[in-house]
Amino acid sequence: MSETRTFAVLVDNEPGVLARVIGLFSGRGYNIESLTVTEVDDDANLSRITIVTGGTTQVLIQIRNLLERLVPVHRVEDLTANANSNDLEPPVQRELALVKVVGAGDKRVEALRIADIFKAEVVDTGLSHFVFEVKGRKEQLDRFIELMVPLGLNEICRSGVIAVSRGDQAL
C-alpha cells in the first residue's frame, strides 16, 4: 500500500548536498513527486529541502533513515506522519505557479474571470497573452491549470511544494 508523505530536511548549504539527497532516491528507485530547496539561515548556512514522495511504509521508513544517515543532514521530519500522530490537520503546504495563457476574445475574458476566482495575479500581459501568478495547495494549482487548457494554456512553471507543520512546534 503506497502513501504520499512530505518530508522537511534541514541540511548544511554546501556543494553536493542536493546530489546526495537525489542520489539516494534515484539509486534505489524511489520516486520524488516534488522537491524544493533554498537557503533558510544565512548565518548557520542551512538550507531546507521539502520532498514529497510516495512508497510503502517500509520504503518511507527507509527514506527517512537514509536521509538521516547523510553527513550534512541535520534534521529530517516526516511532516505528514507527525501531523497524523499529533492529531493535527495535514501540514500547511503551498506551491506557486507561473502560467502563460495565449488567446483572444471570449477566451481571454474567461481566463481573466477564472484567474480572479483563484486569486491569481496577472504579472505580465500583452494584447495576446497573460502570465498568471497563482499560489495555493497543489490540487488548487492542478485545477487552475486544467481550466486554462481550453483557454490557450501555453507554458507552465511550478515551484514545487513547500510545507511547515501546524501548531507552535518548529522543525
Partner 1 sequence: MSDTKTGAETLINALVEQGVEVIFGYPGGAVLPIYDALFQQNSIRHILVRHEQAAVHAAEGYARSTGKVGCVLVTSGPGATNAVTGLTDALMDSIPIVCLTGQVPTHLIGQDAFQEADTTGITRACTKHNYLVKNADDVSSVVHEAFLVASTGRPGPVVIDLPKDVLMNQTGVYKRKADVRRSSYRPVVKGELSQIEKAVEALAGAKRPIIYAGGGVINAGPNASKLLVEFTRMTGVPITNTLMGLGVYPASDKQFVGMLGMHGTYEANLAMYNCDVMINIGARFDDRITGKIDEFSPNSTKVHVDIDPSSINKNIMVDIPIIGDAGHVLEDMIRMWRSKALSIDAGALSDWWGQIESWRSVDCLGFTQDTGDAEIRPQHALKRLHEMTKHRDDVLISTEVGQHQMWAAQYIGFEKPNRWMTSGGLGTMGYGFPAAIGMQIGNPDACCIDVAGEASILMNIQELSTAVQYRLPVKIMIINNQWMGMVRQWQELLHGGRYAESYTESLPDFVKLAESFGAKGIRATKESELDAALQEMLDSDTMTIFDCCVTKDENCFPMIPSGKPHYDMLLPGTSQEKVAAAIQGEGLALV
Task: Name the minimum Å distance from CB 162 to partner 1.
Answer: 21
Q: State which amino acid sits at residue 149.
A: V
- In 49-137, which residue ranges form alpha helices assigned H by DSSP? 57-69, 79-85, 106-117
Q: Does 40 bind partner 1 (CB under 8 A)?
A: no
Distance between CA atoms of residues 102 and 9, nearest Å = 38
Binding segment for partner 1 (CB under 8 A), chosen from 13-21, 91-99, 101-109, 130-138, is: 13-21
Within 48-87, which residues bind partner 1 (CB under 8 A)? Answer: 58, 61-62, 65-66, 68-74
Amino acid at 124: D
What is the rounded (10 degree) CA torsion for 99, 95, 122, 104?
30
Choice between 10 and 162, CB closer to partner 1 = 10
With CB under 8 A, what is the number of residues at the site for partner 1? Answer: 20
Positive/negative CA dihedral, 29, 32, 35, 41: negative
What cell was used for 65? Answer: 533513515
The distance of closest approach from Cβ of residue 58 to partner 1 in the complex, given in angstroms and rounded to an integer, is 6
Residues that bind partner 1 in the complex, under the rule CB under 8 A: 11-12, 15-16, 19-20, 23, 27, 58, 61-62, 65-66, 68-74
